[in-house]
Amino acid sequence: MKFFVDTGDINEIRDLAATGLLDGVTTNPSLIAKAGKPFIPLIEEICSVVTGPVSAEVAATDYETMSKEGAKLAQIAPNVAVKVPLTPAGLKVCKELSDGGTMVNVTLCFSPLQALLAAKAGASFISPFVGRLDDISQDGMQLIADILTIYDNYPDFQTEVLVASVRHPVHLLEAARLGAHVATCPPDVIRKLYHHPLTDKGLAAFVEDWKKTGQSIL
């Protein structure tokens, strides 16, 4: 499974990229607003730090403007994945950009049939929002299972399932069990993956026992 981080915080991105575990970055207008930096220079900076896909989302909702925005975003760097909404206009832009060799991330997916449309439009990634479905008492992970089943039925589809709106490590575990291609997580969720109380306990015991030897490796 590929790990993307879902943030516009360049410091968080640099820190996680240094671990070697980061495969890409996703952003959205809300995350860009939170970052408090000019949009295009920020995407340029992120693309210089991360070699994998960096999702940059269009702001318009109509086809003509969305198409122009998508073309401009695609010029920022070769690893930009233009992010478009799962609407008729968004899928039209997806087809246009993907035919031209640009990666496209189709976002705000909430049904298997929407995911089918995105794959037919040539999307590089489909972003189903599992957390938001859980919020309204629907099963977000069932959506992932359904999309993967449909895609597996049609080997010509190249669209990768990018699990989004991840709220906690269990979402990531379930996505990995299902065989999702990518998960995008907030930085704090990625960092939670390191922790287990028995790891902490065991390390503390090793450190204490080493002190008792009075030795030094250096």
Q: List the domain boundaries for the chain.
A: 2-213
Percentage of residues in the chain having pLDDT higher than 70:
100
How much of the chain exceeds pLDDT 90, in percent? 100
Please report the pLDDT score of residue 155 as a whole number: 94
Would you say 172 and 183 are in contact if contact means Cβ atoms under 8 Å apart?
yes
> Average pLDDT over the chain, rounded to whole?
97
pLDDT of 36 reads: 93
Task: Note the pLDDT of residue 61.
Answer: 97
Q: Which of 47, 30, 37 is nearest to 107 (CA)?
A: 30
Instruction: Give the C-alpha separation, 173 to 1, whole Å.
Output: 10
Average confidence (pLDDT) over 70-79: 98
pLDDT band per the 50, 70, 90 thresholds, residue 92 = very high
Query: 76 CB contacts (<8 Å, ≥6 apart)?
Result: 40, 43, 44, 47, 56
- pLDDT score for 94: 98
pLDDT one-digit tens code per residue, 133-174: 999 999 999 999 999 999 999 999 999 999 999 999 999 999
Q: How far apart are CA 20 and CA 50, in angstroms?
A: 10
Beta strand pairing status for 125-128 and 103-109?
A: parallel
The pLDDT of residue 196: 94
pLDDT in the model for residue 77: 98
Q: Which amino acids are annotated catalytic?
A: 83
114 band by pLDDT with thresholds 50, 70 and 90: very high
Query: Any idea which architecture 2-213 has in CATH?
Result: Alpha-Beta Barrel (3.20)
> How much is the pLDDT for 153?
97
As a whole number, mean pLDDT of residues 19-34 equals: 95
Model pLDDT, residue 160:
98
What whole-number distance in Å separates Cα of residue 160 and Cα of residue 53? 12
- Which pLDDT score, from 0 to 100, does residue 23 have? 98
How far apart CA 76 and CA 58 sit, in angstroms, is 13
> Is residue 29 within 8 Å of residue 59, measured between CB atoms?
yes
